[in-house]
Amino acid sequence: MTDIFQSSGAPLESPSIPPKTGTANPGMFFRRWLANPLQMGSIVPSSPALCRRIVQQVRPAPDEAVLELGAGTGVISQALLAGGVPADRLILVEIVPDMAAHLRRVLPGVRVIEGDARRLPDLLPPAWIGRIGAVVCGIPLVLLPVAEQRRFIDAIEAVAPGRGFLHYSYCATSPLPAGRLGLAARREAWTPLNFPPASVWRYTPRPH
């Protein structure tokens, strides 16, 4: 089984430039958290320390795209761009309309798709299905029933078969019941400098 994070792609550079002006937009982030906490994993955008740890785990091959689910205000998206992901190889899926519009404004050249990540096979351009080299998930899956977690995982598998995904979370232990979902889980990084402290988990499908 191909392991996305051990692919032939070179490691991305650690982002060393600050996010583009307006990318973080903590006011918008907090308002969306107040409106629907289940769609937001935190009350503030991800910190630079967490962004660096995520970027270090993303290694797509040159002909592959990077897919970010639940891109929010684009802080991690900008870090991926700063780390070397070409804008035309970065695909963002965001369910909140005003956040999707914000992403289009502050990240020109990046493909932003407004929609539900559980419908990935319908949302993604057909040309990119099967050519996703890295999936980064910021959706708070821990808050969902197992059946809904399964829907997200099946959607990822449909567009990036065998590849698995990165999931950042504020849980002290795995945010997903990996065994029940047929996944292998490994915590790749932890940062106490994020608020709240966060971990980066790698989930990959177990062989049948």
pTM score, whole prediction: 0.81
| pLDDT higher than 80, residue 176 | yes
Give the pLDDT mean for 176-205: 91
Sheet harboring 65-69: ordered strands across? 111-114, 90-94, 65-69, 132-137, 165-169, 198-205, 183-191
Give the pLDDT mean for 140-157: 96
pLDDT of residue 162: 96
Domains along the sequence of the chain with CATH: 4-205 (3.40.50.150)
List CB contacts of 62: < 8 A, sequence separation 6 or more: 9
Q: pLDDT tens digits, residue range 3-40?
A: 333 334 555 665 543 444 444 445 544 455 444 544 44
Q: For all residues of the chain together, what is the average pLDDT?
A: 83
Give the pLDDT mean for 127-143: 95
Both tokens of 61, joined, read 């091959």
> What is the rounded radius of gyration, in angstroms, for the C-alpha atoms of the chain?
15
Nearest to 19 by CA among 72, 80, 68, 70: 80
Q: Please report, for residues 44, 132, 182, the alpha-carbon distance to residue 193 in angstroms, rounded to integers and kept in the order given.
A: 13, 30, 31
Task: Report the C-alpha gap between 78 and 88 in whole angstroms.
Answer: 13
* Phi, psi (deg, nearest 5) at residue 113: -115, 120
SS3 content of the chain, % helix, strand, coil (to 5): 35, 20, 45
Both tokens of 146, joined, read 């197992």
Nearest to 116 by CA among 75, 148, 143: 148
Q: Which is more confident, 180 or 44?
A: 180
Q: pLDDT tens digits, residue range 54-72?
A: 999 999 999 999 999 999 8
Q: What percent of the chain has pLDDT over 90?
A: 65
